[in-house]
Chain A
Amino acid sequence: MMNLAADGVHGSLGSIGYGLAAIGPGIGIGIIFGNGVQAMARQPEAAGLVRQNMLLGFALAEALALIGVVMPFVYGT
């Protein structure tokens, strides 16, 4: 808990920070799965290949969200 500049506003800055940090991965994961599904629909015979690469992209984007989770613990207090 820390006091913000505005009077009477209390709360955890870490949670606000994570809310902001989750925007990017959210958009990224949406784009990855959206385009992945589209690619699978257009070319069903390449579905296996598309799924593998989709998972890699998903893991990379998800890593950013998880970094966002731990940053308040690392640089908190």
Chain B
Amino acid sequence: MDGAAWSSVGYLLSGMLFYGGIGWLIDRWTGHSALFLPIGLVVGIALSLVLVFVRHGRSS
């Protein structure tokens, strides 16, 4: 699997970490309990999937 399958987990995690973290900060700022954090997580997963597609899923 030349490490590609393993690193895609890393991409998903870091996307969730970054955009979920931004969502969490917005939550703290605006005083919501859990509104922007889930949105951020979903956005992060979507962007990470794009990245996985670009890195590994394209026939080169």
How extensive is the interface on chain A, given as a class?
10 to 19
A20 CA to B52 CA, complexed, in Å: 26
Chain A interface secondary structure, helix, strand, loop or mixed? helix
Sort chain B's interface into a size bin. 20 to 34
Closest to B56 in A: A55
Number of A-B contacts (CB under 8 A): 51
Residues of A within 8 A of B4 (CB): 51, 55
A52, B20: Cβ atoms closer than 8 Å:
no
Nearest B residue to A49 by beta-carbon distance? B59
Q: How far is the CB of A68 from chain B (nearest CB, A)?
A: 11
Interface residues of B (CB under 8 A from A): 1, 4-5, 8-9, 11-13, 16, 20, 34, 37-38, 41, 45, 48-49, 52-53, 56-59
